[in-house]
Amino acid sequence: MTYVTWKIERTDSDDNVTTFTNYSRPILNMNLGDGKDSFSFDIANGTGDWDNYWKARDKVTIYRAVNTDTTTSDDILMVGSVVDTPITDTGSANKLKVKGFNYSEAVMGTIVFVDATDLDVPNAIKKALDNAGLFHPNFKVTWNSNNKLVKRDESTSFPTVGKKYFYKTIKQMLEELSSDEYTADGRYFWYVDNANTLVWKADSSFDADTFNDTTDGYRSKKVGKDTSKVKNFVVGRGGTTPSGQPITEYYPDYTSIAKHGMKYHYFTEDNNLCQTLVKADIVKSGGTEADRYPNLSSTFTTSWKYEGEDKDLAYDTVATNGSTITFDTGTTGSEANSQADYNQALKLHVRAVMKKHMTELVNKTRGGQRKIDLELQPGQKNWGLGSIITVTDSNLGTTPLPLRVDEVQYTTNSDRFSLVEDEGKL
């Protein structure tokens, strides 16, 4: 008969490590990508002995082994940090629940300031992790040594990112840089492992296995489609021009809306795009933080390349797609006119960039994904996050379907896996 052995260690603020034994119902949830990895367990607290034992930010190391009474470092599933200890008192029973997240959560939500203009994709991500580690030295996430620094062909370098990341979280940066647009090598997936290293791999580089509902045993299954991540009407702001005009954009996909209803999403990734461009131009022209504009009193060329449609601006400045823009008072007639053209160019450029980013997001998320949730015996399948499972199940169609392990839940009695399509097509 299958059985599970748990071990929970608490490390306090003085680095004292204690093996804690007075717990029940441990649950671990682990997710691929930007889903939060979490843990919880219950403590009987009838006499109030544990009211002040667990503190926020206590380090918790959770081990889980199957069919053995001992655990080793290989059995660590999560290194976490306590965030809450709510107490439930029903009169007849007093229970304290210890809840927390993966120890790396503080780092992955960190705002980073990374100049990736001359860095390729993996080195840009590494620099962001190093940057975040300076702010959270006790919660560092490091680059996994097995991650590739070249494309999946083992020889071709990744493209240069060619941009700066200001006011972005590491999660947002990772999601963007893991897309085919930036890797030029297909989609990459990521997660933080139990050693707090970032695992970043190509979609085809994860372990593979099969599951057949007629030959593989299971406790329960649920087959359907997941529309929770569908985004088909995206709206957002791209910042404010130096003249004080807000820049807004939206993108709807009416085919998806007809299928799934209106699925709104507020797009925040480019919230500060305009201000970032203006600051770079001010620096280039020798200005200071107090300036609203770069120096446009004579001739100035932008630090960025224009991505809007070709356009003759109001005062005859020429904006050409794929090129920098030069503002010349000899053409516009005055510094004020150059500033007006500068504002117009910023607005057209930022809206074009936002539209491109919104279109990419909607193209990836406009369809529902086929999904199967499986409850198995502990240790029955050693699937990890990102594993590609070819599933044979008549409810999913007549041919085997490759699905990816997107979420795993571990309890004392079962392993639960959520498998979904990489790209929604429903």
- Give Dmax (Cα) for the chain: 86
> What's residue 57's pLDDT?
81
Q: What is the CATH number of the domain that holds 26?
A: 2.30.300.10
Question: pLDDT at residue 188 above 80?
Answer: yes
User: Which residues are bridge partners to 119 per DSSP?
Assistant: none
Same domain (yes/no): 173, 281: no
Q: Confidence class of residue 106 from pLDDT cuts 50, 70 and 90?
A: low
Q: How far apart are the C-alpha atoms of 404 and 375, rounded to whole Å?
A: 16
> What's residue 91's pLDDT?
63
Same domain (yes/no): 328, 393: no
- Whether residue 210 is contained in a domain is answered as no
Same domain (yes/no): 322, 372: no
In total, the chain counts a number of residues equal to 426
Q: Confidence class of residue 133 from pLDDT cuts 50, 70 and 90?
A: confident
- Whether residue 222 is contained in a domain is answered as no
Q: How far apart are the C-alpha atoms of 148 and 207, rounded to whole Å?
A: 16
Same domain (yes/no): 313, 388: no
Q: What is the CATH number of the domain that holds 160?
A: 3.55.50
* Better-scored residue on pLDDT, 46 or 328: 328
Same domain (yes/no): 93, 116: no
- Domain termination site, one of 365, 380, 403: 365
Same domain (yes/no): 322, 352: yes
Question: pLDDT at residue 147 above 90?
Answer: yes
Q: HEC string of 129-194?
A: HHHHHHHCHHHCCEECCCCCCECCCCCCECCECCCEEEEEEHHHHHHHHCCHHHHCCCCEEEEECC
- Whether residue 221 is contained in a domain is answered as no
Edge-to-edge strand ranges of the sheet holding 197-202: 142-143, 197-202, 188-192
Q: Among all chains, which residue has been given the structure tokens 């020889």?
A: 155
- Whether residue 214 is contained in a domain is answered as no
- Total domains in the chain come to 4
- Domain termination site, one of 78, 102, 126: 102
- Domain termination site, one of 71, 102, 133: 102
Same domain (yes/no): 96, 113: no
Q: How far apart are the C-alpha atoms of 236 and 269, rounded to whole Å?
A: 9
Query: What does pLDDT average to over the chain?
Result: 89
Backbone angles phi, psi at 346, to 5 degrees: -60, -45
Summarize pLDDT for 253-296 with one digit per residue, the tens: 999 999 999 999 999 888 889 998 999 999 999 998 889 999 99
Question: pLDDT at residue 165 above 90?
Answer: no
Same domain (yes/no): 115, 159: yes
- Whether residue 215 is contained in a domain is answered as no
Q: How far apart are the C-alpha atoms of 88 and 349, rounded to whole Å?
A: 54
Same domain (yes/no): 8, 39: yes
Q: Are 253 and 232 in contact (CB under 8 A)?
A: yes
- Share above pLDDT 90 across residues of the chain, in percent, rounded to a whole number: 57
Pairing outcome for strands 208-212 and 388-392: parallel
Q: Which tokens in the block code for residue 49?
A: 């002995």
Q: Which tokens in the block code for residue 275?
A: 């201000």
- Whether residue 44 is contained in a domain is answered as yes
Give the global pTM: 0.75
Summarize pLDDT for 228-258 with one digit per residue, the tens: 889 999 999 999 999 999 999 999 999 999 9
- Whether residue 159 is contained in a domain is answered as yes
The dihedral through the CA atoms of 352, 353, 356, 362 has a sign that is negative
- Whether residue 213 is contained in a domain is answered as no
Q: DSSP letters of 412-423?
A: SS-EEEEEE-SS
Summarize pLDDT for 369-407 with one digit per residue, the tens: 899 999 999 999 999 888 999 999 989 888 999 999 999
User: Domain range holding 76?
Assistant: 4-102
Same domain (yes/no): 339, 420: no
Please name the helix (run of DSSP H) or strand (run of DSSP E) that holds residue 252, with its range, or none: strand 246-252
Same domain (yes/no): 249, 352: yes
Question: pLDDT at residue 409 above 80?
Answer: yes
- Print burial letters for 21-48: b (CB count within 10 Å at least 16), e (below 16): eebeebebbbbbeeeebbbbbbbebeee
CB neighbour list of residue 242: distance below 8 Å, 6 or more residues apart: 278, 292, 293, 339, 342, 343, 346
> What's residue 90's pLDDT?
66
Same domain (yes/no): 327, 242: yes
Q: Which tokens in the block code for residue 264?
A: 């709104």
Please name the helix (run of DSSP H) or strand (run of DSSP E) that holds residue 127, with its range, or none: helix 121-135
